[in-house]
Amino acid sequence: MVKLRGMTWDHIRGYAPLLAATEKFRESHSGFEIAWDRRSLKDFGDYPIDRLAREYDILLIDHPHVGISSSQNVLVPLDDSIPASYLRDQEENSVGPSHISYRWGDRQWALAVDAAAQVAAYRPDLMNEQDLPRTWQQVLVLAKRMAGATGSRVGWPLGPTDAMCSFLSLCAGIDGPTFFDEGVGIENSVGEAAIDLLFEILPHLHPTSLDSNPIQMYDRMASSEEIHYIPCAFGYTNYARQGFAAKLLRFADIPAISREPRGSLLGGVGIAVSAFSSHVPLAVEFAMFAASENVQRTLYVESGGQPGHADAWWDAKANEMCGGFFQGTLRTMELSYMRPRNKYFPEFQEKAGILLHKALKRRSTGNFDSSAGTVEAMNSLYLQCLSAEKTH
């Protein structure tokens, strides 16, 4: 019996499709097993990949880690083991920049088995699709109107990690991907405009917003009538599926700053293979199986996954199963923003999220920190991350 160890993240979207794919793979590979462990959503974004690679054969990773992981030589460059034709098909059928987000230094470090970006969500029994805000100004108007009445509110998950993700989405929506210079950080005027928008909407949001991540807010949204619209959070098809939660949610494009819903922060998950594995060929074969078009379009989505292959996003059955999630958010995915993936960025993102969250907390209690000061502090933090790395 060949037994591999795999590490994924602790949500049905993160583990159920992999368990199903493992069982299907075993039908043609006798004497094979993968024991899947799970890490929290926060650890998925923050936990060092080099430590996991020494314990696991197969890893589900976040694309901002490819820069540092490649420099540490802890992952297998998949282009050494996977046919060029297969990788070409993956790129041609990528949902937005999902596939290339795992490419670094002209090498492919993971396959995009899961695709996501920040999108809007709403309760279709409380809000009509035609009434959804199309711009951020309309979001502000809606939030003010609802805050002045009894009943449901606009929510926005703005815990430290998600506050930073939303900030990056707003920046990219304002100025496109050039707002972040990997040598110095955030363009001041763009960062200030994004924080000013957060500051302006914040007083009118549901009171749990600053303490919530997307899953927590979707759970509240689906179990009560406290929240009927979220403008910006990573999408989860699960909440659009019959029977998953008490009330169905629907998902739509992110509000636009310009004419198009551009700039939404790219998320998703890639499947990678540890360079320390004793079974690299078998692990790579499983990764290819899980990312293949047929598995992604059928087994993966049927098991609660959010596939990374475009054929699944266009598939009528997949969309019917998920309340039109894929077609309803595809334009946002196509125009999504791929954040920096250099080896300094993961540490910066984590620390900057804490800094931004503190500024939002202070704002919510009447302490009016300036947006300029907050951006300046974030850029100072980024330069610290750069200099700390250079002294090691």
The pLDDT of 295-305, averaged and rounded, is 97
> Are residues 131 and 94 part of one domain?
no
Q: Is the pLDDT of residue 389 over 70?
A: no
What is the tally of structural domains in the chain? 2
**pLDDT band for position 44 (cuts 50, 70, 90):** low
Is 338 domain-assigned?
no
pLDDT value of position 45? 63
Can you give the residue range of the structural domain that contains 35?
2-116+266-333
Domain at 214, CATH number: 3.40.190.10
Burial class (CB in 10 A: 0-12, 13-18, 19+), 46: middle
Quickly list H helices, the chain: 12-26, 41-46, 49-53, 66-72, 84-92, 136-147, 160-175, 188-201, 214-223, 280-291, 293-295, 301-302, 310-314, 316-321, 325-334, 345-364, 371-390
**pLDDT band for position 322 (cuts 50, 70, 90):** very high
Please give the share of the chain, as a percent, with pLDDT higher than 70.
97
Q: Per the structure block, which two tokens stand in for 150?
A: 């009894």
**pLDDT band for position 46 (cuts 50, 70, 90):** low
The pLDDT of 70-97, averaged and rounded, is 97
Is 67 domain-assigned?
yes
pLDDT value of position 148? 74
pLDDT value of position 150? 65
Q: Helices 280-291 and 12-26 meet at what angle, rounded to 10? A: 110
Place of tokens 């310009």: 258
> Are residues 89 and 23 part of one domain?
yes
Q: Is the pLDDT of residue 135 over 80?
A: yes
**pLDDT band for position 99 (cuts 50, 70, 90):** very high
* CA pseudo-torsion sign 44, 164, 369, 385: positive
> Are residues 259 and 169 part of one domain?
yes
Is 77 domain-assigned?
yes
Is 163 domain-assigned?
yes
Q: What is the pTM of this model?
A: 0.94
The pLDDT of 168-176, averaged and rounded, is 96
> Are residues 385 and 252 part of one domain?
yes
Q: Is the pLDDT of residue 216 over 90?
A: yes
> Are residues 210 and 250 part of one domain?
yes
Is 138 domain-assigned?
yes
**pLDDT band for position 47 (cuts 50, 70, 90):** confident
> CA–CA separation, 97 vs 94, rounded Å?
7
Q: What is the pLDDT of residues 279-299, one digit of tens each?
A: 999 999 999 999 999 999 999
> CA–CA separation, 349 vs 352, rounded Å?
5
Determine contact, residues 250/240, Cβ cutoff 8 Å: yes
Q: What is the pLDDT of residues 175-193, one digit of tens each?
A: 999 999 999 999 999 999 9
**pLDDT band for position 258 (cuts 50, 70, 90):** confident
Q: Per the structure block, which two tokens stand in for 176?
A: 């496109």
Q: Per the structure block, which two tokens stand in for 345?
A: 């960025």
> CA–CA separation, 93 vs 72, rounded Å?
29
pLDDT value of position 80? 95
Q: Helices 160-175 and 188-201 meet at what angle, rounded to 10? A: 120
> Are residues 135 and 25 part of one domain?
no
Q: Per the structure block, which two tokens stand in for 294?
A: 């047929």
Q: Per the structure block, which two tokens stand in for 365?
A: 């209690």
Q: Is the pLDDT of residue 363 over 90?
A: yes
Is 339 domain-assigned?
no
* CA pseudo-torsion sign 290, 292, 293, 294: negative
Distance of CA 136 to the CA centre of its chain: 21
> Are residues 136 and 246 part of one domain?
yes
CA nearest 359: which of 191, 214, 233?
191
**pLDDT band for position 237 (cuts 50, 70, 90):** very high
> Are residues 274 and 316 part of one domain?
yes
> CA–CA separation, 222 vs 131, rounded Å?
19
Choose the final residue of a domain: 311, 333, 355.
Answer: 333
251 contact partners, CB below 8 Å, separation of at least 6: 119, 120, 121, 122, 235, 237, 240, 323, 325, 328, 329
> Are residues 247 and 201 part of one domain?
yes
Choose the final residue of a domain: 309, 333, 357.
Answer: 333
Q: Is the pLDDT of residue 37 over 90?
A: yes
Choose the final residue of a domain: 313, 333, 353.
Answer: 333
Q: Is the pLDDT of residue 239 over 60?
A: yes
Determine contact, residues 239/123, Cβ cutoff 8 Å: no
Cα distances from 208 to residues 158, 198, 203, 364, in angstroms, run 9, 15, 12, 12
Q: Is the pLDDT of residue 75 over 60?
A: yes
pLDDT value of position 384? 96
> Are residues 253 and 149 part of one domain?
yes
pLDDT value of position 31? 87
- Mean pLDDT of the residues in the chain: 94
Q: Is the pLDDT of residue 139 over 80?
A: yes
Please give the share of the chain, as a percent, with pLDDT higher than 90.
90
Is 173 domain-assigned?
yes
> Are residues 148 and 92 part of one domain?
no
Give the CA count within 13 Å in the CB-facing half-sphere of 4.
29
pLDDT value of position 279? 96
> Are residues 157 and 44 part of one domain?
no
